[in-house]
Amino acid sequence: PAASAQRRTVAAAPFHARAGRSLLLVVQSIGWPVLVLALAGAWRLGAQRARDPLGLALGAWAVTFVVFFAVGVMRVGPEYERYSLEFVGRVAHATYPAAVIAAGLGAAWAWRSGMVLRTIALVVLAAAMAGGISEWIRWR
């Protein structure tokens, strides 16, 4: 009884802190090189107004990510924030294939867009491969 009376209350983290931690987790889960190339690929899909099945599937995946990310950073009690962050990590992993496909589209566009963008794409692809190999070595 005395211990429960002295139990301290912890306030829930503010929205910007939850969103920041969640975004950091997404970057760590997917990798900044893949995200950079995926943003370029998404930009190209938007500029081309792609209405083919792949473009529509990637758009649906992106909407799914945004909706579930928003649900993941909603206000919860402090004791449940860890589970909220875990949920965001699962959302990142579930939408990872779309990020990789969009990254491939971004890399292909950069490759065809001249020497400067080709070089940047090579550097970012090398960083993505180095990150993947590093994770694989740590996993083994």
Q: For helices 32-48 and 96-111, what crossing angle results, to 10°?
A: 70
**40-93 pLDDT, tens per residue?**
999 998 888 878 898 899 999 999 999 999 988 888 888 888 898 999 999 999
**3-45 pLDDT, tens per residue?**
555 556 677 788 888 889 999 999 999 999 999 999 999 999 8
pTM (two decimals): 0.82
Q: So what's the pLDDT on residue 9?
A: 66
Neighbouring C-alpha atoms within 13 Å toward the C-beta of 41: 23
Q: Cβ distance 67 to 127 under 8 Å?
A: no
User: 59 Cβ partners below 8 Å, 6+ apart?
Assistant: 45
Smallest CA-to-CA distance from 92 within 27, 42, 39 is with 27
Residue 139: band (very low, low, confident or very high) from pLDDT cuts 50, 70, 90: confident
pLDDT at residue 135 greater than cutoff 70? yes
CB neighbours of residue 98 within 10 Å: 20
pLDDT at residue 131 greater than cutoff 80? yes
Q: Cβ distance 125 to 111 under 8 Å?
A: no
Q: How far is CA 67 from CA 62, 63, 72, 73, 124, in A?
A: 9, 6, 9, 10, 28
Residue 117: band (very low, low, confident or very high) from pLDDT cuts 50, 70, 90: very high
